[in-house]
Amino acid sequence: MNSRLSKTLVSLFAVCTLLSPKVFGESPQGSNLPVEAGELLVIAAAQSPESASNISTSTKKSPVSPSAHTTPIVLTLESIEVVKTAEQFSGDEIYVNITEYSSVDKPAMHRVPEYPSHWLSKYMDKVKNVPLWTKNIRDTESVELIISVVESEAPPWDVDDLIGSVKLKVYIEKGKLEQEWSVPNKSIVKEEGAKGHFVLTGDGAEYKISLKLKLDKEIDKTKEKDKAKAKDKTANKK
C-alpha cells in the first residue's frame, strides 16, 4: 500500500469516527483511537511500515524514575489451529500484529513474523510457542495490547484482511502480575474455554488461537525443564 492510500484510509477512519462514535466500540485506555479503527490502521501500517510513524496519541505521559522496579514478561502464541482458510484454494498467509498502549510510554506496534514475512496456513501446525511481545513492565505501569491475526494480501491492490482481534490489559498489583482478556468485536471472535483461548472467524475463515502471558521466571523454569528432558534423552541414547 502506497503512502497516499494509507493517508486516505486514515482520513476515512477519522471521518467515520466523527460521524458514528459508537460504531467502533470502546477505545483502549490511554489512546484516542477507537479499537477497530486502530486495528485497521495497524493493518495499513503493516503493509507500508513507514506509515506507522503517522499514528499518534494524545495521552499525557507520566515521568518515570530510572530506578523504578520492573518485571520482565512475555506474551506467547502457544498454538494456532486452522479450521477453515479465507482463501479456499491457495490457503492463507498469516501474521500477527500487536498494538501496544502503555500508560507511561508511547504507543508501539509489533508484527510477528516481521514484514514482509508471514506463515502459510498449510504449515500452521508447526507454529508453536512463538514469543509475540516482551516488556519490562514497571510497577506503576499498565499496558493494553490489541492482538490481531491478519491474512496478508498482495499490496497495493488488495488490503490485508482481519481474521480477528483480542484485547489484553496487563499491570502489576501488589507484586502480582494481573491480566484481563476481552473481545473488542464479538461478531467475529469468541472466547473458548481457558483464559487466552479464542476462536476467530473474520473474512470467512476460522482459526483457533491459544495465547499465554508469562513472568520471566516461568519462562526460565520451562527452559530448565526442556534442558533436563534433552539431557535425559541424550543419556538414554548412550
**The domain that contains 149 carries what CATH number?**
2.60.40
Question: Which neighbouring-strand residues pair with 144?
Answer: 101, 169
Residue 171 in any domain: the answer is yes
What is the distance between the alpha carbons of residues 32 and 34, in angstroms, rounded to a whole number?
7
Position 97 pLDDT exceeds 60? yes
Residue 85 in any domain: the answer is yes
Instruction: Find the mean pLDDT for residues 54-69.
Output: 46
Position 217 pLDDT exceeds 80? no
What is the distance between the alpha carbons of residues 173 and 168, in angstroms, rounded to a whole number?
16
Closest CA to 133 of 102, 112, 150, 119: 112
Residue 196 in any domain: the answer is yes
Residue 200 in any domain: the answer is yes
pLDDT of residue 156: 77
pLDDT of residue 77: 98
Query: For the CA atoms of 29, 194, 198, 169, what is the dihedral angle to 10 degrees?
Result: 10
Residue 111 in any domain: the answer is yes
